[in-house]
Amino acid sequence: MKFCPKCKTILIPEKIKGKSYLVCKKCGYKEESKRKLVIVSGIKEESKEVVVIGENKENLPTIDIICPKCGNTKAYWYMQQTRSADEPPTVFYKCTKCGYSWRSYE
C-alpha cells in the first residue's frame, strides 16, 4: 500500500494506455508503478444480515423500556454495529404495542 506524497491519501492502481499507474483520487497525483499491478474489478460485497420484525415476534427478545410514543413498557430489541469497530453497537427498539421504532447509542 502506498500513499500520496501530496495529500497522504491511499494511491489506487489504474491501467492507463496499457501502463500501470498509482493514482490519487483526491488530488490527482499519479506516478507510474515500478511493480506489476494486478487490478481486480467486480468485487462482490458480502450480504448484510437484516433483522426483520414481522410475523414471528415470539422469538424476539423483549426489554422493559418506556416507548417514547405511547408509553408502553415493553419493546423488542436488537443490536447492530453501525459505526466503527471501536465504538459500541447501536441498540434498536420496537414497541410491542404501537410498533414505534427508535434507537439508542450506548
Which residues are the active-site residues? 86-87
Categorise residue 18: left if φ over 0, alpha if ψ from -120 to 50, beta otherwise.
Answer: left
Cell representation of residue 73: 413498557
Distances (CA, A) of 48 to 4, 80, 82: 32, 11, 12
Phi, psi of 57 (to 5 degrees): -70, -25
Distances (CA, A) of 44 to 10, 12, 40, 47, 81: 21, 18, 11, 9, 21
